[in-house]
Chain A
Amino acid sequence: MMADDGTKNILEAVHVRKEFGGLIAVNDVDFVIPRGAIVSLIGPNGAGKTTFFNILTGVYKPTAGGVIFDGTPISGLPPHKVTALGMARTFQNIRLFHNMTALENVLVAMHSRIKGGVWRSILRTPALKKEEEESRERARELLRFSGLPGRDDAYAKNLSYGDQRRLEVARALASGPSLLLLDEPTAGMNPEETANFTDFVAKLRAEHDITVLLIEHDMRVVMGISDRVTVLDYGEKIAEGAPKEVQHDERVIEAYLGTAATA
């Protein structure tokens, strides 16, 4: 690995490997995310994309290899510590707190940013009251920014599918991330919603200085907004580069369409 002071690449994964029993889900993958970029991770179903995501966010500990985030080695850290360092994620199958309101969902994600502990909460000190009010204001702002105005007090499970996806992003943003990981954010969206979402991601980078890693199946999204694309197949990295290059890579076409297509 080159000497890096953490300014150029926000995340570096070195020889990351994950085995489940005999199954090798991720096989010696090297991967970097340049600061400020929008990077996509694509690959056929079962290629190990979500497993790789789970390694980055601390849900799984890699069998071998390591991950460095913002200059800090994070492999083996529990998810909440990774989040506190500034990495946030959404889930492929929406995992909102269904019986909490939209506002509460966002407030939960501010956990690591809110200082007030149990004793101060019981005494409700003026400092705590102020902090709580500020957190609520910020949460309302985030909901507006994410396209959910006026739904603050709706239970998450009563939101429409598209709004649930938006709430997941708002919740992830609430933890104050410098790197945002989105796991198939446009799954189930119609073309118009998808286009809106793509604009939203571009806005995130432009206005909030957030680096984005995207797992995505919709090639229009991937090719439209990514600076770099990495392709996984059977747990191995088979291609990496600008969207145009990857699109014409033989191995990628083969992985997606099978060998017969290239023959």
Chain B
Amino acid sequence: MSDQASPQAPKAQNRSNSTLSSWRASYRRYRKQHKWLGWGIPLAVVVLAFSYPWWGLEGPLAFIFNDGLGIDNDTLFNMSVYVMLALGLNVVVGYAGLLDLGYVAFFALGAYTLGWFGSGLFNNLDWHFLDTNASRLPGIHLSFWVVVLLAGAVCAIAGVLIGWPTLRLRGDYLAIVTLGFGEIIPDVFRNGDDIAGHNLTNGVRGLTLLDRPGFGETLHDASGGILPVRYTSLELRPWYFTVLAMMLITVFVNLRLRDSKMGRAWIAVREDEIAASAMGVPLMRTKLWAYAIGAIFGGFAGAVYGSFINGIFPTSFSFQISVIVLVMVIVGGMGNIWGVIAGAMLISWLNFRGLDKIGSWISDVPGVSSDFSIAKYKFGIFGALLVIMMLFRPEGLIPSTRRKAEFAEGEGQATLYDARA
């Protein structure tokens, strides 16, 4: 029959844990009877996330989360940034089914946009717009919030420019070309210190002394001192709240688009391009939207990350980031926002702190050498995790009902007997 029959290969039908699925079923029944859970649970999660500093960093549960799991301010920030990246990539990979192996390009571009519009790089200029630096510095200094929006815009444009020639390709070919772009863009930044005599990126030395977010004196006073004049590297909570708020916007846009005309068109294109275009879905436009929206969130994340780290270097944006973000999406459950968030939190925690922590727990066991370091085997562990996931739960930790259906067979397509038996 048609060529889209391939995902129904009988790899892992209904091998999910029976207790887990009966749990899910009873939860679903409960959820149907209690409509308020539809907004109640997300609200509770948001409240828990915003109040984390008071119960996780310090307070009653700090001994588990902060001391035990090592989720401190820094880790918390990094995790949130990666959740944003994963949600952005989810639009491209999870919804539209375009395998993008060069997502780091937009993360980098977002960070460099901050470098252009919020640092002393162009120190022969003196442009200011609502910036919250303590003194008037040379260079271009726009308000951080404007820069974030600019980063999104620059990445959207770059996404369309990159997507225009490449999105004509399908499947593996698209993956290879995006891989190429992911390598090219950091290289351009590495060599961008002398483009026709202009220093656009400061080359391998990278950009430092970047502008930080802030609300200025007026808003600070108006809010009774709650909104900080400018963020500092000593008080990290505002950073966390900021990236959490940006993450919520990302979730919101993800949800709204999933249930829209564009969301349906993305799935249709993923399922069958020819049928989709015969039904009036413009292929290029639809794919470009997915690519551009994914790029926008990559840009937002890049800008806030660059500012927090206070340094942007071409080496920070390696292929590994593209891979890790993709692993987050796959492990969590492509196309399902809650799955992607869970996957991103798990993998980024493992990446930043978890493996170190687990290593030190193992070292604490009597008889194990104290210089045992599990973090050295990071990518080996992620690789193994991916293989295990693909074998036992290819639809991800928390799959969308649609993804789950994809891995289950259609009633008409069930195999007559199991060839592996």
Contact = CB atoms under 8 A, between A and B. Distances in A.
Contacts of B256: 121-124
* B8, B260, B276, most chain A CB atoms within 10 A: B260
Contact of B275 (A96, A110, A132): A96
A116 B278 contact: no
A111 B281 contact: yes
B2 A80 contact: no
Given A111-B265, A116-B261, A99 B405 contact: yes
A230 interface: no
B204 interface: no
B261 to A, nearest CB: 5
Interface in B1-31: 1-2, 4, 8
A122 to B, nearest CB: 5
A80 B283 CA distance: 8
Contact of B410 (A113, A158, A172): A158
A123 B260 CA distance: 11
B411 A158 contact: yes
A104 interface: yes
B242 interface: no
B279 A158 contact: no
Given A111-B261, A160-B412, A78 B271 contact: no
Contact of B279 (A81, A93, A132, A171): A171
Given A95-B2, A108-B268, A157-B412, A118 B262 contact: yes
Contacts of B262: 117-118, 121
A97 interface: yes
Nearest to A174: B279
B402 interface: yes
A80 B274 contact: no
A32 interface: no
B272 A97 contact: yes
Interface residues of A, number: 46
Contact of B265 (A84, A95, A96, A108): A108
A148 interface: no
B227 interface: no
Contacts of B275: 91, 95-97
A99 to B, nearest CB: 5
B289 A118 contact: yes
B413 interface: yes
A75 interface: no
Interface in B235-273: 252-253, 256-257, 260-265, 267-268, 271-272
Nearest to A115: B261
Interface in B401-421: 402, 405-406, 410-413
Contacts of A84: 280
Contacts of A93: 1-2
B125 to A, nearest CB: 33
B277 A80 contact: yes
> In terms of DSSP, what is the predominant structure of the interface of chain B?
helix
Nearest to B275: A95
A160 B262 CA distance: 28
A93 to B, nearest CB: 5
Interface string A204-233: 000000000000000000000000000000
Contacts of B225: none
Given A80-B281, A155-B405, A95 B272 contact: yes
A108 B281 CA distance: 8
B2 to A, nearest CB: 5
A229 B392 CA distance: 55
Interface in A83-121: 83-84, 88-89, 91, 93-100, 104, 107-114, 116-118, 121
A122 B412 contact: no
B42 interface: no
Contacts of A121: 256-257, 260-263
A117 B256 CA distance: 12
Contacts of B402: 99-100
Given A100-B402, A121-B261, A161-B412, A59 B268 contact: no
Contacts of B283: 78, 80
B267 A100 contact: yes
A37 B191 CA distance: 66
Contacts of B293: 118
A127 to B, nearest CB: 13
B279 A108 contact: yes
Contacts of B59: none
Contacts of A91: 2, 275, 278
A157 B410 contact: yes
A108 B276 contact: yes
Contacts of B278: 57, 59, 79-80, 83, 88-89, 91, 95
Interface of B: 1-2, 4, 8, 252-253, 256-257, 260-265, 267-268, 271-272, 274-283, 289, 293, 402, 405-406, 410-413
Q: Which 3 A-B pairs have the closest CB atoms?
A: A157-B410, A121-B260, A112-B280
24 contacts: A78-B277, A78-B283, A79-B278, A80-B278, A80-B282, A83-B277, A83-B279, A93-B1, A95-B2, A96-B272, A97-B271, A97-B272, A104-B264, A107-B264, A108-B276, A111-B264, A118-B260, A121-B257, A121-B260, A122-B256, A155-B405, A155-B410, A158-B411, A159-B412
Given A123-B256, A175-B279, 9 more contacts: A59-B278, A80-B283, A91-B275, A95-B275, A108-B265, A121-B257, A122-B252, A157-B411, A161-B412
